[in-house]
């Protein structure tokens, strides 16, 4: 070759900057022209976050200054964009003319995604890509101003933390269920959310942006669910896509990015590309490590040396001061993979290692990332770890120390945390009593009253004793909830309350769950406990429900379902019966049966027909009978004073009113009521979960009957004089059951554990009764809704997702 080679580089980013460094370090002799659309040279984009938060200045993050470019004779065209590449004549054309090249490097990087919502072009909407964006956010982050960040990924969270550090009130809206879902699993995402919330950043997951509102500039963000967040600035950080417009116009081969081979060569042998704009082996690149590798390979290629780009594993760290988070490799489940999970709720530490056979292939660390690089090394080297697998998760420093502490959750409770809810006893008082000489459970009970009432906190009291007394204490062994945890149902319920755990990932993290996603036994239980304890905070998790509650019908042995409309108090009308008969005909219902709870059961409905039959029954004024629910099933009545010559009270009317109060409530197991108008007891009230027998002087309320696997007569709870009193007592008693029983225990099993005396004391005390009643009603204000109406409008969700039988026939 004759004369100096002419090299044109389009884009002065981190990848092309590193490539030029390598080239000059090797003593290459090129005439370099460097175009950049941004009016400046190369700076360290990764460091924009510290600039945003005020920890660094722009000057500190410049990597190549004017002096460097001058020293290497680079012709800098900053603020000047290349508009066309003339491949035939090998000339790059910009606004100020053409620059000929022997080799051309496209390093145009990436462009942020703009979500196509109304208002996206309003002043005050920015992305997070370059110094201009950063300066816009700094200007808007005055103390007290409001900022909304759309996107809870790496970039969005760094933007949020930076603006929060400058005093802005920041809300992050994230479409997915947990933050940074591409780098983190749900448990680590939960910990991160907690940390950020502690810094005053509001996080809204599962939030889809509907519109950005404002007249002349941004004023607020509206979500699909109707939530509105006020905003002086909106930052969109939902992702990036390779900037390939120039490559497209040049007719280079472009997939998602500009296609390059192992030498970073595009489909034109004189044109190369690197950085976030390229696609190599169907893969895109966003993190800096592989970009630097590309720079090295391209420099070598330009120098005529042999080099090939091989993408390597990358690790992620979130650059938010005080948040320790590390993820590397592949941490998804797949055939043959196993996981090792370590949780220390007290320190907020979570570690998860993913093994494929004998090799470590992925790691997620939160709270303690000190061993991150060690694990990362293992991943990159593909070392056989079978020999050190037992202690692998403890990192390189492990030297035979103690194993994970199952008491960690209780140990982490502060002294003022309530252990015994009945008697209001906190952890500190129990510890004081133990230190004062109460070394047995009975002694603790008599000294503090802790676990002396309903007894559900016994396990926790024992754990406090074990922590305080050390090896000198052996607890009674209660069975654990399931194989995912060492805690009993009772302990989990108490800890959900005392630690204010409001989501399934929160429970699993703080209580040290041993599996990543629980099992079919604990998930429905946790979902129920969270619904019962946090009705206004928790959102029902449909995927943690058994099939019957998820599909709002009882599944039959052949996979069909049953449909049972509600008939208040067992009373119906000719119009309702006609609608039921019509529906039965329309959907060719194979069996129509009258149930023991005075309802009509339509059996054998195909899943895909459910929304349609519900729509028909809704139209006739009927709602779901919840015949499938761990919840209020039926209130069975007799005819009472209206027609019966023996009736003493309006048992039918009372039954209807009770059912209208109680329907839709979720309970630990099913709840059935019977209301009889006289002691002849035609409604069989005395074998129900709750029964009322009317007498001349009022109403006798009895509870804890059974007529299933066990048969048991109800026990007398108390007497009421007015209907209003009956309603309040039954609501209060139901709430007591909802708050205290373990999942799947019917009322009679629960009463046998806690004692009828204790239950009676609660509902007879006017203050306690009122409070229980009010809590029940609060929950009803949210959960008393007809699931048929909710799902009937979405028939597509109930049908097969695809039908290939038709396709095969074609």
Partner 1 sequence: MSKFIDIAALDDIPRRGARVVKTPQGCVALFRTADDRVFALEDRCPHKGGPLSEGIVHGTSVTCPLHGWVFDLNTGQAQGADEGEVRTFIVCLDGGRVLVDASFLSGRSAA
Binding residue positions for [4Fe-4S] cluster: 638, 644, 678, 682
Closest distance between partner 1 and the C-beta of residue 339, in Å? 8
Query: ∠ CA(483), CA(442), CA(490), 5° rounding?
Result: 30
Among 293, 294, 281, smallest CA distance to 255 is for: 281
The four Cα atoms 83, 85, 89, 94 give a dihedral, to 10 degrees, of: 30
Closest distance between partner 1 and the C-beta of residue 253, in Å? 18
Q: Across-strand partners of 97?
A: 94
Give the binding range for partner 1 (CB under 8 A) out of 327-335, 585-593, 611-619, 719-727: 327-335
Among 223, 218, 302, 279, smallest CA distance to 25 is for: 302
Cα 294–chain centre separation: 36
Closest distance between partner 1 and the C-beta of residue 798, in Å? 10
Check binding of 543 to partner 1 (CB under 8 A).
Answer: yes
Cα 93–chain centre separation: 50
Closest distance between partner 1 and the C-beta of residue 332, in Å? 5
Closest distance between partner 1 and the C-beta of residue 440, in Å? 39
Give the binding range for partner 1 (CB under 8 A) out of 68-76, 132-140, 332-340, 587-595: 332-340
CB nearer partner 1, residue 6 or residue 514? 514
Interface residue with partner 1, options 397, 399, 471, 801 (CB under 8 A): 801
Distance CA 128, CA 141 (A): 14
The contact mask relative to partner 1 for 508-527 (x = CB under 8 A, - = no) is -------xxxxxx--xx---
Check binding of 90 to partner 1 (CB under 8 A).
Answer: no
DSSP state, residue 529: H
Give the binding range for partner 1 (CB under 8 A) out of 54-62, 104-112, 394-402, 538-546: 538-546
Check binding of 794 to partner 1 (CB under 8 A).
Answer: no
Q: Count Cβ atoms below 10 Å from residue 46 Cβ, excluding itself.
A: 13
The contact mask relative to partner 1 for 557-576 (x = CB under 8 A, - = no) is xxx-----------------
Interface residue with partner 1, options 33, 551, 637, 686 (CB under 8 A): 551
The contact mask relative to partner 1 for 123-162 (x = CB under 8 A, - = no) is ----------------------------------------
Residues numbered 670 to 729 that lie near partner 1 (CB under 8 A) are none
Do the beta carbons of residue 549 and residue 528 sit within 8 Å? no
Check binding of 404 to partner 1 (CB under 8 A).
Answer: no
The four Cα atoms 282, 288, 293, 296 give a dihedral, to 10 degrees, of: 120
Interface residue with partner 1, options 3, 67, 269, 335 (CB under 8 A): 335
CB nearer partner 1, residue 557 or residue 645? 557
Check binding of 267 to partner 1 (CB under 8 A).
Answer: no
Residues numbered 470 to 509 that lie near partner 1 (CB under 8 A) are none
Q: Where are the alpha helices (DSSP H) in 369-514?
A: 372-381, 408-411, 427-435, 441-448, 458-469, 489-498, 504-510
Residue positions forming the annotated binding site for siroheme? 682
Output the DSSP codes for 605-620. E-GGGHHHHHHHHHHT
Secondary structure of residue 626 in the 3-state scheme: coil
Interface residue with partner 1, options 41, 186, 455, 677 (CB under 8 A): 186
Closest distance between partner 1 and the C-beta of residue 559, in Å? 5
Q: What are phi and psi of 207, to 5 degrees?
A: -110, 120
Check binding of 66 to partner 1 (CB under 8 A).
Answer: no
**Which are the contacts of 286, defined by CB distance < 8 A and separation ≥ 6?**
110, 240, 276
Interface residue with partner 1, options 304, 322, 479, 800 (CB under 8 A): 800
Q: Across-strand partners of 692?
A: 675, 701
Among 493, 787, 509, 792, smallest CA distance to 665 is for: 787
Check binding of 542 to partner 1 (CB under 8 A).
Answer: yes
Secondary structure of residue 108 in the 3-state scheme: coil
Interface residue with partner 1, options 114, 270, 287, 547 (CB under 8 A): 547
Closest distance between partner 1 and the C-beta of residue 523, in Å? 6
Do the beta carbons of residue 430 and residue 450 sit within 8 Å? yes
Burial zone of 794 (CB within 10 Å; 0-12 exposed, 13-18 middle, 19+ buried): exposed
| Site residue total, partner 1 (CB under 8 A) | 38
Check binding of 550 to partner 1 (CB under 8 A).
Answer: yes
Interface contacts to partner 1, rule CB under 8 A: 177, 181, 185-186, 331-336, 515-520, 523-524, 542-547, 550-551, 555, 557-559, 800-805, 807-808
């Amino acid at each position: 070759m004759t004369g100096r080679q002419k090299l044109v580089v389009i884009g002065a980013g981190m990848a092309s900057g590193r490539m030029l460094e390598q080239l000059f370090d090797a003593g290459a002799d090129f005439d370099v022209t460097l175009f950049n659309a941004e009016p400046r040279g190369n700076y360290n984009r990764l460091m924009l976050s510290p600039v945003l938060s005020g920890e660094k200045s722009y000057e500190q993050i410049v990597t190549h200054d004017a002096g460097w470019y001058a020293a290497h004779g680079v012709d800098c065209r900053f603020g000047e964009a290349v508009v066309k590449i003339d491949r035939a004549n090998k000339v790059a054309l910009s606004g100020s003319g053409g620059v000929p090249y022997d080799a051309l490097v496209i390093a145009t990087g990436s462009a942020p995604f703009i979500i196509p919502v109304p208002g996206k072009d309003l002043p005050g909407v920015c992305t997070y890509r370059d110094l201009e964006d950063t300066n816009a956010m700094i200007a808007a982050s005055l103390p007290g101003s409001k900022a909304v960040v759309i996107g809870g990924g790496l970039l969005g969270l760094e933007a949020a933390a930076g603006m929060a550090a400058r005093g802005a009130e920041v809300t992050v809206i994230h479409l997915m269920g947990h933050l940074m879902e591409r780098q983190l699993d749900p448990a680590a995402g939960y910990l991160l959310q907690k940390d950020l919330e502690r810094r005053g950043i509001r996080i809204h997951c599962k939030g889809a942006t509907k519109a950005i509102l404002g007249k002349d500039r941004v004023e607020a963000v509206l979500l699909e669910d109707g939530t509105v967040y006020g905003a002086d600035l909106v930052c969109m950080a939902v992702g990036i896509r390779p900037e390939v417009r120039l490559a497209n116009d040049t007719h280079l081969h472009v997939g998602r990015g500009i296609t390059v081979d192992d030498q970073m060569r595009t489909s034109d042998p004189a044109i190369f590309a690197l950085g976030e704009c390229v696609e190599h082996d169907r893969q895109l690149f966003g993190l800096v490590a592989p970009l630097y590798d590309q720079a090295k390979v391209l420099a070598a290629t330009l120098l005529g040396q042999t080099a090939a780009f091989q993408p390597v594993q990358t690790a992620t760290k979130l650059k938010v001061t005080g948040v320790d988070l590390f993820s590397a490799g592949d941490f998804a489940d797949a055939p043959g993979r196993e996981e090792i999970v370590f949780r220390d709720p007290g320190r907020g530490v979570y570690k998860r290692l993913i093994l494929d056979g004998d090799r470590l292939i992925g790691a997620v660390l939160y709270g303690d990332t000190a061993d991150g690089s060690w694990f990362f090394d293992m991943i990159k080297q593909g070392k056989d770890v079978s020999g050190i697998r037992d202690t692998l998760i403890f990192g390189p420093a492990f030297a035979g120390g103690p194993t994970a502490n199952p008491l960690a959750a209780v140990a982490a409770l502060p002294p003022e945390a309530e252990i015994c809810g009945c008697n209001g006893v906190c952890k500190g008082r129990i510890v004081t009593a133990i230190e004062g000489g109460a070394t047995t459970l009975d002694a603790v009970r008599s000294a503090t009253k802790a676990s002396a009432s309903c007894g559900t906190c016994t396990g926790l009291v024992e754990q406090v004793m074990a922590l305080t007394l050390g090896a000198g204490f052996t607890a009674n062994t209660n069975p654990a909830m399931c194989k995912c945890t060492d805690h009993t149902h009772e302990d989990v319920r108490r800890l959900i309350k005392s630690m204010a755990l409001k989501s399934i990932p929160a429970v699993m993290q703080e209580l040290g769950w041993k599996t990543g996603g629980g099992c079919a036994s604990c998930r429905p239980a946790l979902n129920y406990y969270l619904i019962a304890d946090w009705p206004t905070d928790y959102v029902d998790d449909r995927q943690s429900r058994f099939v019957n509650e998820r599909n709002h019908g009882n599944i039959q042995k052949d996979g069909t379902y049953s449909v049972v409309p509600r008939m208040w108090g067992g009373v119906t009308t000719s119009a309702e019966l006609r609608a039921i008969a019509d529906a039965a005909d329309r959907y060719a219902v194979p069996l129509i049966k009258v149930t023991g709870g005075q309802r009509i059961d339509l059996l054998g409905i195909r899943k895909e027909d459910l929304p349609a039959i519900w729509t028909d029954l809704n139209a006739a004024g009927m709602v779901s009978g919840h015949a499938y629910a761990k919840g209020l099933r039926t209130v069975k009545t007799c005819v009472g004073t209206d027609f019966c010559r023996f009736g003493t009270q309006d048992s039918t009317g009372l039954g209807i009113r009770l059912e209208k109060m109680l329907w839709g409530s979720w309970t630990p197991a099913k709840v059935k009521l019977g209301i009889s108008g006289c002691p002849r007891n035609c409604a069989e009230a005395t074998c129900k979960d709750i029964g009322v027998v009317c007498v001349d002087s009022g109403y006798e309320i009895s509870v804890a009957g059974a007529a299933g696997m066990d048969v048991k007569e109800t026990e007398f709870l108390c007497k009421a004089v007015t209907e209003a009193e009956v309603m309040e007592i039954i609501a209060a008693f139901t709430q007591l059951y909802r708050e205290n029983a373990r999942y799947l225990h019917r009322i009679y099993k629960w009463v046998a554990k806690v004692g009828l005396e204790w239950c009676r004391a609660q509902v007879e005390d006017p203050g306690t009764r009122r409070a229980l009643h009010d809590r029940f009603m609060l929950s009803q204000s949210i959960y008393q809704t007809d699931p048929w109406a909710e799902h009937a409008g979405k028939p597509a969700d109930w049908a097969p997702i695809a039908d290939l039988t038709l396709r095969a026939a074609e």
